[in-house]
A = this chain, B = another copy of it.
Amino acid sequence: MRANEREAHQKREVEIIPHYIKHPEGSVLISFGDTKVICSASVEERVPPFLRGKGQGWITAEYAMLPRATSQRNIRESSKGKVAGRTMEIQRLIGRALRSVVDLSKLGERTIWVDCDVIQADGGTRTAAVSGAFVAVGLAVSELLEKEKLKENPINGFLAALSVGMTDSGKAILDLDYKEDSTADVDMNVVMKSGGRLVEVQGTGEEATFSRRELNEMLDLAEDGIEELFAIQKEILGDFGEKLSLIEEGQKTNAT
């Protein structure tokens, strides 16, 4: 049995507090159990040099942890003078994932800077960050639409992520906490877009390896859990969430 009597397919309690800090165009505090991440979306009215004059926008993400978000204090990356490989990997993942649900050509020549700052960590910080970042971006875009800075909604689906893993007894489990993560044989992060589409699959077996069957078992768990996250996101996003669902429905209908 897992901690807090969780079943293998159960994710931890998820909470999303919108408008958590006042300055950003969009912001949330997202919790996956004891993992807590402040996600903010800042709109800047220009694009990076490589996109200038192309009439499209950009979304980029940065990720960090407070030094004592973890059980041992970490040295700040600003003190070390460089960003760790793990940090870069995560922030690149968040940025790519967000760009997969936003039509950059509809964003205009602006950049959305997403900041995911982990204030408390207990496993799954990157999946919480992706899932929270999507809502922060949603809030920012919704504000841009209201203020008529955007004419058309550039977001074309919900986006959320969960981790899955294989325990050493060969059981697939969903949304690993830190303790589970440190002992799991295989660790996989799955990012999905609503409509059952995969955005990113990163499965890693550092000391163990995994079979195709196990891969599919883990993906099944992830898929179901992520659907639940979409429902929470929709509720938090209110009217804008409703509209996104309709787009989604429309796409399914079109696809039929």
A residues within 8 Å of B by Cβ? 21-24, 27, 34, 36, 38, 40, 42, 44, 62, 64, 66-71, 73, 76-83, 85-89, 91-92, 96, 99-100, 113, 115, 117, 119-121, 188, 193, 196-212, 215-216, 219, 223
Contact = CB atoms under 8 A, between A and B. Distances in A.
Nearest to A193: B209
Contact of A211 (B21, B38, B196, B207): B196
Contact of A88 (B36, B88, B96): B88
Central interface residue in A42, A82, A85, A188, by most chain B CB within 10 Å: A85
Contact of A71 (B23, B78, B204): B23
A99 B23 contact: no
Contact of A204 (B66, B113, B200): B200
B92 A83 contact: no
Nearest to A87: B78
21 contacts: A21-B66, A23-B68, A23-B69, A24-B73, A44-B73, A62-B67, A64-B76, A73-B113, A76-B78, A77-B78, A79-B83, A85-B92, A99-B207, A100-B207, A196-B212, A198-B211, A198-B215, A199-B205, A200-B205, A201-B215, A212-B219
A184 to B, nearest CB: 14
The 3 tightest CB contacts between A and B, nearest first, are: A85-B88, A197-B209, A77-B78
Given A198-B211, A200-B204, A212-B198, A62 B85 contact: no
Contacts of A76: 62, 64, 78
A67 B88 contact: no
